[in-house]
A and B are shown apart, each in its own frame.
Chain A
Amino acid sequence: MAIIDSRYVGAWYFLKTALTNVSGTSYILASNVTNTSDLTTVPKDLIQGEAGVLVIDQLGRKDTCTVSGDALIIKNSSNNYLVDTTNVTYKDVFDLLIDDYYLLLNFFFYSVEDIYNTNDLDWLQYILTQLGLTITNKNLLTSATINIGNNITCALNYNCKYDTKFTIDLPVTNNNSEDFIARTAKNYDVRFNVDGNDYYIKSGTINIKIGYSEVYVANTGYQYPFFSPQTHSVSGTFEIYSIHDAYESIPNEGNISLLVGDRYLELGQNSIFSSDNKKIDSNQSANTMTVSFTAFARLGAGISQTRWAYYLANLNPSQIYNVYNYLTQYLNTSNTPELQPLLDYARGKLS
């Protein structure tokens, strides 16, 4: 009886990646990774002496990668449960989303600032590098869908090839020191704050979209396009258990944020509730109401003291001092009040 090689079994693999501001080995826990390589080829009809395909037109090559899985509550060495005795960090797809989404928000934010502060670019670049806020091809998130219900599932789409996102490793035989345990995040781990009212939310969906320009240029000798992040938007729906009064009290604006365990995803302020669908159905055990929203996904959404704490968490004192030093000089010459909390936080860490 033949047994199929473990290399054909998905669960045996590690998705090894370098995470923002996390030193050492990092593994992403996803349930599914799909990569699509697209090289669109179309026949080109010319006056060519026959009706067959003699000439083809190949467009640029593009790889897209999808990573999906449940949000998890993980116990590992980083939160005082010594399941793993090594220096490995385990993260789920929701962590990946937070990292890459905020990286892109920072990219948008500081790209704008640099226009007015070109002389200070070195300082800023140093700060961003220290904080792990430089983006590369693997961070090109194009869309994210978060489904919230009894479980919380995330599906992320990237403009990159899977092997730029992850190193896919088989575990070393007899290496039993790397270990983790986790449970799937459930409804009671989540707060989906939709405008500050006390809703019982049955389900919800959040869609994050990042728009890119694909730029094909000569002199690169490269079949792939350059991607230029251009836009970002947040929209979604949520279904609430509702009494009839709720139908008239859904506001037209509010805050949208999602907390899963101790991880906070700010999604924009003063959102517009674009439509709602009221339903009284005797065949349902409880009345529900579905509200669609479109958020103002603004630059400042990801720039908060909470985030700075996250970025600074793993820096050593010397690195924090350098960030503090450069930031002080940068703030002396630039009008960037959003960075003041970072300065305050770095000062606090040093003291």
Chain B
Amino acid sequence: MPIMPADYFSTWYVVTIDGLPTILQSYNETLNHAVSDKKFVQGDIGNHIVDIAPTYYQYNLNCPILLIEPKNLFNDTFDLVLNFLNLIQEPIYGNADIDQFEYVMQGAQLDFSTESSNCSSTLESWKAFNDVTNFKTYAPNYDFIARLVKFYDVQFGMFGENYLIQQGNFNISILNEKHFYVSGSNSFIGNQNPLYSIHGYTVTGTVTIVLTPEQYEVLKLYNAQSPGIFSAAKNSLFVKILSRNANGIYDKTINLGDFMFLPTVDLSISANQTITAKVNFATMFRRTSAITY
């Protein structure tokens, strides 16, 4: 019976992003290079002329959030998200800053529940992540162990300590636009890759809270506005992944600021189940909302 060589199996490989090997559950890379037919008065109804759209790569990364030992040897998707958010919270200018970017994150989805936690992200880049290292040769310097982050590793700072949180989903959107420029000079030429302009970032999400009817009544008053007064309940909004070992504390925190607003609150009362409220929230995530990791 023939045996398929290890080269064909994904688990033997590691993708390197931002110079650090990244542990992923799935990795999907798409080269976008659209070509469409262009009709001219051309003597034929066949395809002679094509319009070739600009080139960029799109990546979908997915991985459970991990506690990896030793620390800082590998990234997971959550580390990538923290790293990118941290970069774009400061103004980007000058070659030194711009050279730190090898991709533009389009968005990320963080899912926390009592069963599991997961982070997926979509990236775009002007180059392929060609540094996919084959680890079939034993590399003891890259030896690691890890476990999945569970509910007891997660701390939500949403409404103080007053509510029990069953589940949380965070949608991170990076507002950006691709620009296609014409060279206005003889000293440089254009290329097929677009210029990316990052012009904003937002976090919205949903949390499912286990609560009493009395607590729900309080929740309804959250951010209620009075004429002429801007009411904004101040709380420290964050998600912290506890990550510690004998050598120290390596907790990872997305600080979403200190104000959030609740576009919808959905109360659910069913027999033989806990009372829950599904709260959609929009945060005032901004430059002072520090990312730590």
Contact = CB atoms under 8 A, between A and B. Distances in A.
Interface residues of A, number: 55
A29 interface: yes
Interface in B46-83: 48-52, 54
A190 B41 contact: no
13 contacts: A14-B43, A31-B39, A180-B42, A182-B50, A183-B51, A184-B49, A191-B189, A193-B185, A198-B185, A200-B195, A201-B182, A201-B183, A240-B184
Given A184-B49, A200-B195, A15 B180 contact: no
Contacts of B176: 285
B9 interface: no
Contacts of A196: 185-186
A184 B52 contact: yes
Contacts, number: 140
Interface of B: 38-45, 48-52, 54, 175-177, 179-192, 195, 197, 199
Contacts of A101: none
Contacts of A6: 45
Contact of A187 (B39, B187, B190): B190
A151 interface: yes
Contacts of A311: none
Interface in A176-193: 178-184, 186-193
Given A12-B44, A286-B177, A191 B51 contact: no
A29 B179 contact: no
A12 B48 CA distance: 12
A150 B190 CA distance: 11
A100 interface: no
A14 B39 CA distance: 13
Contact of B43 (A27, A32, A187, A285): A27
Contacts of A150: 54, 180
B48 A241 contact: no
Given A191-B183, A192-B183, A197-B185, A171 B43 contact: yes
B287 to A, nearest CB: 15
A189 B41 CA distance: 23
A201 B182 CA distance: 5
Contact of A186 (B39, B54, B187, B195): B54
User: Main secondary structure on chain A at its contact with chain B?
Assistant: strand
A191 B45 CA distance: 32
A11 B41 contact: yes
B41 A201 contact: no
A198 B54 contact: no
B38 A70 contact: yes
A43 interface: no
Contact of A198 (B41, B48, B177, B184): B184
Given A29-B42, A148-B182, 5 more contacts: A29-B40, A29-B41, A183-B50, A197-B184, A286-B179
B43 A183 contact: no
A111 B21 CA distance: 72
Nearest to B191: A188
Contacts of B192: 186, 188
Contacts of A138: none
Contact of A194 (B50, B184, B197): B184
A202 interface: yes
A204 B186 CA distance: 17
A33 B49 contact: no
B44 A286 contact: no
A13 B40 CA distance: 9
Nearest to B198: A285
Contact of A286 (B41, B186, B197): B197
Nearest to A72: B49
B45 A190 contact: no
Interface string A226-257: 00000000000010110000000000000000
B183 A12 contact: no
Contacts of A193: 184-186
A10 interface: yes
A149 interface: yes
A56 interface: no
A30 B183 contact: no
A2 interface: no
B136 to A, nearest CB: 39
Contacts of B185: 191, 193, 196-199
Interface in A32-50: 32-33
